[in-house]
Amino acid sequence: MVAVSVAPLGDFVRAVSGDLVTPVVAMPAGADPHTFEPSPGQVARLEAADLVLVVGSPGLSWEARLLHRRGRPGLSLLPPNGEAGDPHAWLDLGLVAGLAPRLADELGRSRPAQRASFRAGGSAFLAEVQELRAVVASELAPLAGRAYFVDHPAWSRLTAPHGIAERALEAGHREPTPATLAARIEEARAVGARSLVVRPGPLSPAARTFLEATGSRAVVLDPLAVPWRETVLAGSHAIAEALRGE
């Protein structure tokens, strides 16, 4: 059995393994990855997995606790001693490209008889990711130097490689102070921003205030949605449209 911490990582396993592996996802749809805690039953099941694939971000501390209880290392999307930045690392196409061959190797170790199939799958997935990188670059690179606004920081790993900055209302997963919110509103007015990227669900008080004060529209994007490829394309397109509409 192969277990993954969040749903997009399951797409990576399926892409490399084809129909040979059906990943088990630890975090259910709709849960908050920053506050989620696996139930005892989920932990017991994940501890029995042959391979556990995690993001490896300090911002998802429950992953580390899970691996500690399991007593065996897992495969991490981020390098060891993961970065303290945006934990939505599955939106970093460079990191995903680097994961493809490593994931193929780890799957091959757990199932030696199918090693050749996993290597072929890893190569095909790498080619898919590189093609996706080119598509995203063609859409975002012409908008370098611009900034878009979000309620919750989640998309910087997709946009920063193309010189596009993310301006978040939240700080440390908390509602902004009145001073911070006022500064974001003034910044948005100065550049003529007309969109705010928000997560699915009810709008936060800060998001409602921002939208009313700037006359912006809410653009709903879910960074955890699957299929992963469609999430990347939807995010790239929506952010590009927001910037072009300023």
Cα dist from 70 to 34, 51, 62, 180, whole Å = 20, 11, 12, 41
pLDDT at 61: 85
Strands (E), 5-157: 24-25, 51-54, 75-76, 147-150
Helix extents (H) in 141-220:
156-159, 178-191, 205-214
Beta bridge partners of 218: 196
The pLDDT value recorded for residue 127 is 98
Q: By C-alpha distance, which of 175, 183, 210 is closest to 195?
A: 210
The residues, ordered by sequence, that sit 6+ positions from 214 with a Cβ below 8 Å of its Cβ are 185, 188, 189, 193, 194, 196
Q: How far apart are CA 186 and CA 118, in angstroms?
A: 51
Domains, the chain, with CATH or none: 2-138 (3.40.50.1980), 144-244 (3.40.50.1980)
Q: Tell me, rounded to whole angstroms, the distance of Cα 32 from its chain centroid.
A: 12
pLDDT tens readout for residues 159-180: 999 999 999 999 877 899 999 9
Please check whether residue 200 is in contact with residue 215, taking contact to mean a CB–CB distance below 8 angstroms: no
**Side chain identity, residue 244:** R
Give the pLDDT of residue 81. 67
SS3 label, residue 26: coil
Kindly tell me if the per-residue pLDDT of 84 is higher than 80.
no
DSSP state of 111: -
The pLDDT of residue 246 is above 80: no
What is the C-alpha separation between 99 and 106, in angstroms, rounded?
10
Give CA–CA dist 38/60, Å, rounded: 12
Asked if the model's pLDDT at residue 111 lies above 80, the reply is yes
Top-ranked range on mean pLDDT: pick from 32-36, 55-59, 239-243: 239-243
CB atoms within 10 A of CB 58: 14
Tell me the CA distances in angstroms from 27 to 10, 22, 44, 218, 226, one per residue in order: 11, 15, 14, 26, 13
CA 9, 10, 14 angle in degrees (round to 5)? Answer: 120
Provide the pLDDT confidence category of residue 245 given band limits of 50, 70 and 90: confident
Average pLDDT over residues 26-44: 85
